[in-house]
Amino acid sequence: MAHRVTGVLIFFFLFVHVLDTALVRVSPEDYDKVVATYKTPLVAVLEYGLVAAILFHALNGLRVIAVDFWSQGPRYQKQMFWAVAIVWGALMLGAIYPVLGHAAREVFGS
């Protein structure tokens, strides 16, 4: 279920991204306003959520491929899920500062 939810979330992000990028041709001033909102701490938290969704979707996708195409895949799917969860958690911990560092400095000061 989480794989499907993250896939839908990523799709909606891409849809909004195409729309806001297309805005540059229609109204550059409005595009600049939209881009300015992307520099807020709230959007940084949403970006972190996007990183989480993409990373989980990618790692779990590899697990799904292994379950489908490896003859021993169904037998080890539970262990592979926990491996995905551990790798995802470790990578998300590593992504905290690069993604949320600017927002933390803006909220709490340098």
Known binding site for heme: residues?
57
Dig out the tokens for 64 from the structure: 């799904």
User: Which H, E and C letters describe the chain, residue by residue?
Assistant: CHHHHHHHHHHHHHHHHHHHHHHHHHCHHHHHHHHHHCCCHHHHHHHHHHHHHHHHHHHHHHHHHHHHHCCCCCCCHHHHHHHHHHHHHHHHHHHHHHHHHHHHHHHHCC
Annotated binding residues? 57
